[in-house]
């Protein structure tokens, strides 16, 4: 998984409980994907290991390089959307 320096030095330091494999899983099977005005891409998916919480992963414009990741308390999984199995 490609990451930015910000992700390595800031995000992983502030949120050491986040696992890289969770980010990879969110990118592979998002419940939702949205392009930001700056071109970065947001992905959301439920992560069972996070207590069924939703993880938001933000990539650079390439859709591969992870720049940020955090539990998103405000995101609601769309009805009918399957929850991710571990």
Is 19 domain-assigned?
Answer: yes
Domain extent at residue 38: 5-71
Q: Is the dihedral of CA 41, 44, 45, 47 positive or negative?
A: positive
pLDDT digits (tens, 9 = 90+) for 44-81: 999 999 998 999 999 999 999 999 999 999 998 766 55
Is 84 domain-assigned?
Answer: no
Q: How many CB atoms lie within 10 A of CB 79?
A: 5
Is 83 domain-assigned?
Answer: no
Is 80 domain-assigned?
Answer: no
Is 82 domain-assigned?
Answer: no
pLDDT digits (tens, 9 = 90+) for 13-40: 999 999 999 999 999 999 999 999 999 9
Is 79 domain-assigned?
Answer: no
Give the global pTM.
0.88
The number of domains in the chain is: 1
């Amino acid at each position: 998984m490609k990451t930015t320096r910000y992700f390595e030095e800031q995000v992983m330091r502030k949120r050491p409980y986040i696992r890289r494999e969770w980010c990879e899983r969110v990118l592979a099977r998002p419940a939702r994907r949205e392009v930001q005005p700056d071109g970065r891409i947001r992905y959301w998916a439920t992560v069972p290991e996070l207590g069924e919480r939703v993880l938001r992963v933000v990539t650079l414009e390439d859709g591969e390089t992870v720049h940020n990741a955090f539990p998103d308390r405000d995101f609601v999984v769309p009805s009918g959307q399957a929850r991710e199995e571990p």
